[in-house]
Amino acid sequence: MEWQSAVSAAIERTTGFRLVRADQVQPAAPPHQTARELPSVPANKLLVDRPTKAEVRPPAHPEVDRLLHRPIFLLSAVRSGSTLLRLMLNEHSMLHAPHELHVRRLRVVPTNGLSKRAMEVLGHNEADLEHLLWDRVLQRELLLSGKKFLVDKTPSNSFAFRRIQACWPDARFIFLLRHPASIGASWADASRDKRTPDESVADALRYMRAVEKARDNLPGLTVRYEELTTDPEKVTREICDFLDLSWESAMLNYGNDREFVKGMGDWSDKIRSGSVQPPRDLPSDADIPAALVGISRRWGYLREDPGAETT
């Protein structure tokens, strides 16, 4: 009826709550139902990684606004060995390195003017509220692990390094590099049904450029996949020194979490009796795609000058 619709609309404008008929309410998921079992939501109903229009700023009161202290972010392009390094770091008694968490894609959006104004009175804009959510999600994950520091290795974080630094001013960063031609070839192999080889190279290059921009603007430690697989003890010791942690030999006996090992692609063969296998031979300079010549030179993988730089 029209009067019911008018009353419902008035209540929603005034209180921010919406009246819904009981037979239209979706039943809650059982407590042990996993995310994969939940009904899918149409893509047009989601806010897919839409950047906030609010000012992105550090916490106003860090001592109460942040529960997570000194988080560690492993920034790398796709197919760079970040899962391999994550598994090794997770074996340290002080480090919890879970699977990719993608918290930056979690959004907080006021549903009406009243809720927005109420948050503004408290001193929060949309970005501030998202930071509070991200921090709590990661801190909860860390508490459940019983460890001291959290490591997040989501590759797409490289595109949002400024936002991450603003959210956690005390964050620490590790940059993982791999030969760009190896990254491009691996990404092409992993996405044959989605992209052409050239498209895969171009897509992988987006990640590489994001990592390079982060390296130019953030303090941190740079490690290389090839050195990690050649001398894992040396590299993991360097990481522990950077993080002010004692090195633990258990880091070399990784791979006990078999669920997260699945789908590792061309790194899955590195898990053999808990040891790291040597990497494949590096591509020759002649095998580097033209689009990757520039980043290969900047990352120190070109042994000779094949000609003018291509960016």
pLDDT digits (tens, 9 = 90+) for 140-153: 999 999 999 999 99
Rounded alpha-carbon distances, angstroms, from residue 57 to 129, 134, 176, 221: 11, 14, 27, 24
Q: How far is Cα 240 from Cα 131, in angstroms, rounded to an integer?
A: 27
pLDDT digits (tens, 9 = 90+) for 182-216: 999 999 999 999 999 999 999 999 999 999 999 99
Is the CB of residue 111 less than 8 Å from the CB of residue 12? Answer: no
Average pLDDT over residues 166-172: 98
pLDDT at 52: 78
* Model confidence band, residue 268 (pLDDT cutoffs 50, 70, 90): very low
**Domains of the chain as residue ranges with CATH:** 71-262 (3.40.50.300)
pLDDT at 10: 59
Instruction: Copy the structure tokens of residue 266.
Output: 């061309």
The whole model's pTM is what? 0.78
- Please, what is the end-to-end C-alpha distance for the chain in angstroms? 63
Instruction: Copy the structure tokens of residue 138.
Output: 């990661």
Dihedral angle over CA of 177, 182, 185, 186, nearest 10: -60
Q: How far is Cα 43 from Cα 41, in angstroms, rounded to an integer?
A: 6
Higher local confidence (pLDDT), 263 or 216: 216
Is the CB of residue 142 less than 8 Å from the CB of residue 68? Answer: yes
pLDDT at 256: 57
Mean pLDDT estimate for the chain: 84
